[in-house]
């Protein structure tokens, strides 16, 4: 069972910034007899000074606008050397995670994998290998200074472990070789990637039900959380949603119908930002600066580039149904007789033509695959194909047949991507 979520006190989670304790403690391993120390009195704070990249643990008799309860490493429960973990298959379970807080000793006796790995964020003096095991599969994750040291292909294998229903782990303190250490990435973007992958198994209807009580409110990023936000490693369309949608002027329900990004992409982004304590929820405000015409101009500017996935606000792995849904939204808003045409016919026409151009490419499987390879040359399709196939089988076993079919369709696309292109026209 997941632990109760702590009170949502503000916290700056600086993955790639060493706290003072990490500078003073030996950068090797936690001692074998490391013990959990109770948090200090409430008027002690772990301060985040926006002008200082190093934090300090000190006494303050005055109210701090942005306090944090994250203590130095000596106050954080150690990771056990052996143990077992559970998966987080439900949306409720994912939304009950608290990545901005370290776990206590009791939780670490049988943690979920997110909580287990996240503990190293607060134990920056730890160095060694966390090995995850289930059945005959074993996934080693080198850990160094609150980050993971994984090559691209190993990172994909490690992310796959977050889909396991359960497993065992061992933690072995050891020196990380220099060549491996050079692969280090902060834990926060890795954690966010795992969270994003797990959220992809939850469809729009489920996410809408989760947000039911907040649909009338506006999700607004907290300015003081900007450093934490930067460390999430957001995707291109997620960045676009932040730039053009989450400004506090529209309720979530309205944002979901505007077409800046796909509905599921926006909902998953909101879940992730909420988990990291980056959002506040407020009643929509009337903007005195941005009018509807300016909103349309911003949208056109953001989609005018050559990437057709961005133009329709969908992920490169989006299903035909998601692509069609996004195209229909753009058509409903900006097509002939559309809901927003009267605001500015000229901009509406540009938006509709750009969306139609993207739809004309993405609706064709072969042309879509070719375009994806041009826009995302860094994707290792040969590596992803077997992982997607395994994901499809897992979904099928869980009875999620529609999602399994979507994964099989993506597997087919990836297979086509690795085959030599045909001569002449491919459409």
Residue-level pLDDT at 259 = 63
Q: Give me the residues paired with residue 17 across strands.
A: none
Q: 233: domain range?
A: 202-290
Q: Are residues 160 and 271 in the same domain?
A: no
Alpha-carbon gap, residue 122 to 100, rounded angstroms:
10
Examine residue 181 and state whether it is found in any structural domain, yes or no.
yes
Could you please report the per-residue DSSP string of 106-153? TGGGS-BHHHHHHGGGG-TT-EEEEEEEETTEEEEEEEETTEEE--HH
Spatial contact of 312 and 323, defined as CB atoms under 8 Å apart? yes
Spatial contact of 312 and 355, defined as CB atoms under 8 Å apart? yes
Spatial contact of 261 and 241, defined as CB atoms under 8 Å apart? yes
Spatial contact of 131 and 138, defined as CB atoms under 8 Å apart? yes
Residue-level pLDDT at 176 = 95
Q: Give the residue among 32, 16, 154, 25 at the shortest CA–CA distance from 81.
A: 32
Q: Are residues 225 and 168 in the same domain?
A: no
Q: Are residues 163 and 219 in the same domain?
A: no
Examine residue 401 and state whether it is found in any structural domain, yes or no.
no
Q: Are residues 63 and 170 in the same domain?
A: yes
Examine residue 268 and state whether it is found in any structural domain, yes or no.
yes
Q: Are residues 144 and 278 in the same domain?
A: no
Q: Are residues 32 and 136 in the same domain?
A: yes
Other CB atoms within 10 A of residue 8 CB? 12
Q: Are residues 136 and 33 in the same domain?
A: yes
Q: Are residues 147 and 211 in the same domain?
A: no
Digit-by-digit pLDDT tens for the chain (427 residues) are 444 444 333 333 443 333 333 333 333 333 333 333 333 333 333 333 332 333 333 333 333 333 334 455 568 999 999 999 999 888 999 999 989 889 999 999 999 999 999 999 999 999 999 999 999 999 999 999 999 999 877 888 898 899 899 999 999 999 999 999 999 999 998 999 899 888 888 888 889 999 999 999 999 999 999 888 988 888 777 887 887 788 888 899 888 877 667 788 889 999 999 999 999 999 988 654 457 888 888 889 989 999 999 898 887 888 888 888 889 889 989 999 988 899 999 999 999 999 999 999 999 888 988 898 898 887 776 777 777 777 677 666 655 566 677 777 777 777 765 555 444 444 4
Last residue within a domain, chosen from 245, 264, 290: 290
The CA–CA distances, whole Å, from 87 to 135, 163, 201 equal 15, 7, 14
Helix, coil or strand: residue 218? strand
Examine residue 354 and state whether it is found in any structural domain, yes or no.
no
Residue-level pLDDT at 403 = 66
Q: Are residues 218 and 179 in the same domain?
A: no
Last residue within a domain, chosen from 262, 290, 318: 290
Examine residue 173 and state whether it is found in any structural domain, yes or no.
yes
Alpha-carbon gap, residue 137 to 134, rounded angstroms:
5
Q: Are residues 37 and 64 in the same domain?
A: yes
Q: Are residues 232 and 176 in the same domain?
A: no
Last residue within a domain, chosen from 290, 311, 331: 290
Q: Give the residue among 392, 411, 410 at the shortest CA–CA distance from 401.
A: 392
Q: Give me the residues paired with residue 168 across strands.
A: 84, 133
Backbone angles phi, psi at 417, to 5 degrees: -65, -30
Q: Are residues 235 and 175 in the same domain?
A: no
Q: Give the residue among 405, 417, 409, 406 at the shortest CA–CA distance from 379.
A: 417
Residue-level pLDDT at 420 = 54
Examine residue 344 and state whether it is found in any structural domain, yes or no.
no
Examine residue 263 and state whether it is found in any structural domain, yes or no.
yes
Residue-level pLDDT at 128 = 96
Domain count, the chain: 2
pTM: 0.59
Examine residue 326 and state whether it is found in any structural domain, yes or no.
no
């Amino acid at each position: 069972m997941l632990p109760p979520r702590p009170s949502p006190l503000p916290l700056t989670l600086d993955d790639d910034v060493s706290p003072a304790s990490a500078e003073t403690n030996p950068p090797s391993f936690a001692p074998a007899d490391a013990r959990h120390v109770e948090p200090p009195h409430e008027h002690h704070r772990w301060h985040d000074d926006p002008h200082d990249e190093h934090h300090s643990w000190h006494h303050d008799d005055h109210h701090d606008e942005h306090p944090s309860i994250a203590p130095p490493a000596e106050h954080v429960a150690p990771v056990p050397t052996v143990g077992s973990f559970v998966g987080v298959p439900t949306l409720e379970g994912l939304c009950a995670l608290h990545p901005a807080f370290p776990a206590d000793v009791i939780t670490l006796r049988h943690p979920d994998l997110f909580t287990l790995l996240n503990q190293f964020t607060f134990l920056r003096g730890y160095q060694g290998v966390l090995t995850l095991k289930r059945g005959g599969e074993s996934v080693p994750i080198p850990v160094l200074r609150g980050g993971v040291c994984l090559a691209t292909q190993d990172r994909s294998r490690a992310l796959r472990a977050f889909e396991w229903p359960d497993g065992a782990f061992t933690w072995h303190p050891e020196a990380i070789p220099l060549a491996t250490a050079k692969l280090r990435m902060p834990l926060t973007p890795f954690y966010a990637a795992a969270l994003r992958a797990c959220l992809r198994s939850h469809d729009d209807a489920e996410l809408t039900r989760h947000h039911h009580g907040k649909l009338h409110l506006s999700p607004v990023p907290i300015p003081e959380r900007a450093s934490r936000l930067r460390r999430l490693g957001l995707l291109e369309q997620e960045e676009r949603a932040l730039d053009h949608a989450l400004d506090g002027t529209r309720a979530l329900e309205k944002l979901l119908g505007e077409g800046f990004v796909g509905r599921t992409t926006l909902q998953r982004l909101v879940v992730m930002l909420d988990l990291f304590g980056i959002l506040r929820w407020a009643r929509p405000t009337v903007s005195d600066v941005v009018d509807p015409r300016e909103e349309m101009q911003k949208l056109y500017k953001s989609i005018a580039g050559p990437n057709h996935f961005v133009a329709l606000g969908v992920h490169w792995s989006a299903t035909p149904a998601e692509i069609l849904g996004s195209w229909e939204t753009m058509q409903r808003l900006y097509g002939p007789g559309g809901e927003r045409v009267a605001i500015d016919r000229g901009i509406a026409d540009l938006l509709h033509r750009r969306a139609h151009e993207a739809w004309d490419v993405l609706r064709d499987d072969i042309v879509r695959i070719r375009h994806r390879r041009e826009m995302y040359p860094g994707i290792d399709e040969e590596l992803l194909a077997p992982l997607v196939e395994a994901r499809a089988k897992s979904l099928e076993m869980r009875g999620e047949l529609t999602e399994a079919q979507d994964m099989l369709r993506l597997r087919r696309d990836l297979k086509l991507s690795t085959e030599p292109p045909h001569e002449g026209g491919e459409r």
